[in-house]
Amino acid sequence: MSHPLDQNDPLAVKRQAFQVPDGVIYLDGNSLGVLPAHVPARLQQVVAQEWGNSLIRGWNDHGWFDLPAKVGNRIARLIGAEENTVVAADSTSINVFKVLAAALQLRPDRKIILSDNGNFPTDLYMAQGLRDLLDRGHELHVVSPDEVEANITDEIAVMMLTEVDYRTGRRYDMSALTEKAHASGALAFWDLAHSAGAFPVDLAGAKADFAVGCGYKYLNGGPGAPAFLYVAPKHQDQITPPLTGWMGHDAPFAFDLDYRPGTGIDRMRVGTPPILALSALDAALDVFDDVSMNDIRTKSLSLCELFLSEVEARCPNLELASPRDPNVRGSQISFRFKEGYALMQALIAKGVIGDFRAPDVVRFGFTPLYLSHADVMRAVDIMEEILRDRLWDSEEYKTRQKVT
Ligand SMILES: *Cc1c(COP(=O)(O)O)cnc(C)c1O
| pLDDT tens digits for range 309-358 | 999 999 999 999 999 999 999 999 999 999 999 999 999 999 999 999 99
Q: Please identify, by atom number, the ligand 1 atom nearest to the C-alpha of residue 119.
A: 13
Burial 90-124 (b: 16+ CB within 10 A, else e): bbbbbbbbbbbbbbbebbeebbbbbbbebbbebbb
Tell me, yes or no, whether 371 lies in a domain: yes
Q: How much helix, strand and coil, in percent to the nearest 5, is found in the chain?
A: 45, 15, 40
304 and 211 inside one domain: no
- Residue 356 has what pLDDT? 95
264 and 317 inside one domain: no
| pLDDT tens digits for range 143-183 | 999 999 999 999 999 999 999 999 999 999 999 999 999 99
Q: Residue range 7-19: average pLDDT?
A: 96
pLDDT band for position 123 (cuts 50, 70, 90): very high
| pLDDT tens digits for range 203-221 | 999 999 999 999 999 999 9
401 has pLDDT over 90 = no
| Domain end call among 234, 263, 288 | 288
Cβ atoms < 10 Å from Cβ of 386:
22
404 has pLDDT over 90 = no
Is the shortest distance between the CB of 163 and ligand 1 below 6 Å?
Answer: no
- Domain CATH code at residue 383: 3.90.1150.10
| Domain end call among 237, 268, 288 | 288
Is the shortest distance between the CB of 95 and ligand 1 below 6 Å?
Answer: no
Tell me, yes or no, whether 404 lies in a domain: no
Q: Please identify, by atom number, the ligand 1 atom nearest to the C-alpha of residue 227.
A: 8
1 has pLDDT over 80 = no
226 and 369 inside one domain: no
Cβ atoms < 10 Å from Cβ of 349:
15
Q: 193 C-alpha vs ligand 1 centroid, how far in Å?
A: 6
Spatial contact of 246 and 101, defined as CB atoms under 8 Å apart? no
User: Which DSSP symbol is given to 137?
Assistant: S
Domain with 380 in it: 4-30+292-398
Q: 6 C-alpha vs ligand 1 centroid, how far in Å?
A: 32
Is the shortest distance between the CB of 93 and ligand 1 below 6 Å?
Answer: yes
| Domain end call among 221, 256, 288 | 288
Is the shortest distance between the CB of 73 and ligand 1 below 6 Å?
Answer: no
Q: Which of 178, 180, 159 is CA-nearest to residue 113?
A: 159
Tell me, yes or no, whether 122 lies in a domain: yes
Tell me, yes or no, whether 37 lies in a domain: no
| pLDDT tens digits for range 259-290 | 999 999 999 999 999 999 999 999 999 999 99
pLDDT band for position 194 (cuts 50, 70, 90): very high
pLDDT band for position 305 (cuts 50, 70, 90): very high
Q: 330 C-alpha vs ligand 1 centroid, how far in Å?
A: 16
Q: What is the domain count for the chain?
A: 2
Residue 74, class by beta-carbon neighbours within 10 Å (0-12 exposed, 13-18 middle, 19+ buried)? buried
**Best residue among 123, 170, 212 to mutate for probing ligand 1, ranked by most atoms within 8 Å of CB:** 123
180 and 131 inside one domain: yes
Report whether 255 belongs to an annotated binding site: no
Is the shortest distance between the CB of 193 and ligand 1 below 6 Å?
Answer: yes
| pLDDT tens digits for range 71-109 | 999 999 999 999 999 999 999 999 999 999 999 999 999
159 and 257 inside one domain: yes
Report whether 123 belongs to an annotated binding site: yes
Look over the chain and give the mean of its residue pLDDT values, rounded to a whole number: 97
258 and 305 inside one domain: no
- Domain CATH code at residue 170: 3.40.640.10
Is the shortest distance between the CB of 196 and ligand 1 below 6 Å?
Answer: no
- Residue 403 has what pLDDT? 86
Residue whose Cα lies nearest atom 4 of ligand 1: it is: 92
20 and 48 inside one domain: no
